[in-house]
A and B are shown apart, each in its own frame.
Chain A
Amino acid sequence: MNLILVTFIILLAFTSYYFGRKKALVIQSSQRLTALPKFYGYYLAAWCAAPALIIFALWSVFEPSIVKTFILQDYTDQNLTKNELQLIYTKVKALAAGTYTGNITNFLDESANKYIQLKGIANSAKVAIILAILIFSLSFAYRSVQKNDRMREPVEIFLKWVLFVASLGAVLVTIGIVFSLLFEAIRFFQAVKIFDFIFGTHWYPAKTFVRDGQPDPELMKDAFGAVPLFAGTFFIAFIAMCVAIPIGLLSGIYLSEYAGRGVRKYAKPIIEILAGIPTVVYGFFAALTVGPFVKEIGNAMGLEVSAESALAAGAVMGVMIIPFISSLSDDVMTAVPQNLRDGSYAMGATKSETVKKVIFPAALPGIVGSILLAVSRAVGETMIVVMASGLAANLTMNPLESTSTITAQIVVILIGDQQFGDPKTQSAFALGISLFIVTLFLNVIALSVVKKYREKYE
């Protein structure tokens, strides 16, 4: 029903576009047009589609909650909790749809009938209202076209609003995500002291699980210490950067300063393919190939190596990050003006001296920016650590032991059964928002560094 309605509106909009344009051509024979004929078409199409679609959207948003209020009105005298009311409403809906399998009481049956009836009324009303709006707005717009009013401005204003709504949507969704993270995190911090979370050194949320009833507050105290996770996250990111920064930077320098045009043309896309490999592939590469390999080598050297080691995860993550650094640093070094290179060569500097003393310092802000972006990527990386570095949150600085990260723990917490409102589940939000703050901070620094660099050369 809804699909038919929307299709109808859109088709009508297309038709009115052609109609409007045709009308403009007719007007053209007797008087001067105020805009190109297509603007007449856009004008008519916009007036056709926009009001009807807006009403349709609003209706779709508010209809369910209004219907729900009507249905639940009958239950107000039963003194039920919010959750119970919700359960009843779910049952009513299921019954109306014919998918309910439980006991059918008379009362429930009655409600379901009422629900079907209400839905029917709502649907007819929706169609009627939208048709009325279509007729009204189209006739208004058509009169305007007939009078040969100015067409360009309204169309431009309409487009501006369309663009505004699109960007507003993006911004609102972002804000919404941040706030939902924030609210859940606040609820978590009502159960667990923020001090225990930030400075606690023991992460073992599973032990707070209690069947029915509240967990013991004493247990809560040292189950949610995030220090091992932060340490693990930064430790693995550090290992990754130890791999990625040297290789990435050196290959970036090679690509921008040494490689001939032919080499660069093929080498750069190949390196960038590394960035296109799904992280889950890196993950099992780390878990099944690099991890055992590291263990074998370690054992051969007489070292105690866990099969899931921070080293394996960090090294593979470093490989994943190489293209970020090499490609971005290649870009910023290529962007250093040729006349600086010429100036240096003309002084008798060799290529390596020029790179070291002129190109690299000039590009340094951009390179630092690219490294910070890579770090925030490493900190937020999930799949590789879930698969390769283990899930036990050990507080360790030994790269050969297994450790865990914020992202991996969020995965552990949220897969499988979980109770909403349980501190264990909510801790995922607290971890999420701390991760968000860290990466946001890194990105802000990176962007401002890059921006400063841009101002210098443009």
Chain B
Amino acid sequence: MSGLFVKGKGLSVKALSVMLRDQCVIKNANFKVKQGEHACIIGPNGAGKTSLLKALAGDFPPDKHTISSQEAEGIFWCGQNMHHLTPRQRAQTVAVLPQFNPLNFPFSVREVINLGRIPYATSTHVNGFIINTLLDWLALTPLQHKQYVQLSGGEKQRVQLARVLAQAYGNSDTFDGSNKLLLLDEPTSALDLQHQTACALLFKQLQQQGLTIVSVVHDINLASQMANTLIGLKHGHIIVKGTPHKVITPANIQAIFDVDAHVMTHPNNQTPFIVM
């Protein structure tokens, strides 16, 4: 399967437009995310952030109404057009955490995380080891035998995150993020400050293992801390993209969100942050 992909090429989106019910929700989006980098999509409500993420996840099959299937256009992962992948190849390459994950059935935390191993034919032993690792990473070990339905909102979100990471984990018991793309729709929206920080740190560490991440994040300051690239979306248009320093300026914030904000610099790591 690795022969399909050119290593290190990362994600490249070319002339992507998405039509949903006669409405153009994404208009001619072009951007690149290098392997091992984290791109955060920011923008106001209804800007098309989730639609863009869903398009990357393969939710909209290419036909004349949605994504053009011409060679020059589309979503390319490591040089390979993603719509040419089989469902299993895609599931072993792209792991997606949707915004809402309703689950009404009595699964234990371990069982939910194990669902992320569905695309792989690895042994129960390897899966068990991976689940233990993820429980440790997300501080879920004390909850591992609890019922998912009995958890709090933030705990559920961490379990779902662990499930998606189990899918991005790969075939062996050591994490290898190269060739893996992680798509996260508001992964930290229900988390408290401590877990938010821990997650941001975890993402950084996984990036160092080669993992490429595209996420939708509402908190600009968190996005500024986590991202290598910010993508500012409004009315389906990418109106600004680049490093946090380039994107987070009073003028851009005004253009994207229609609010006046002051931009300051973090005393320790010099990343920009905003106050109203």
Same complex: no
Residues of A with Cβ closer than 8 Å to B? none
Residues of B with Cβ closer than 8 Å to A? none
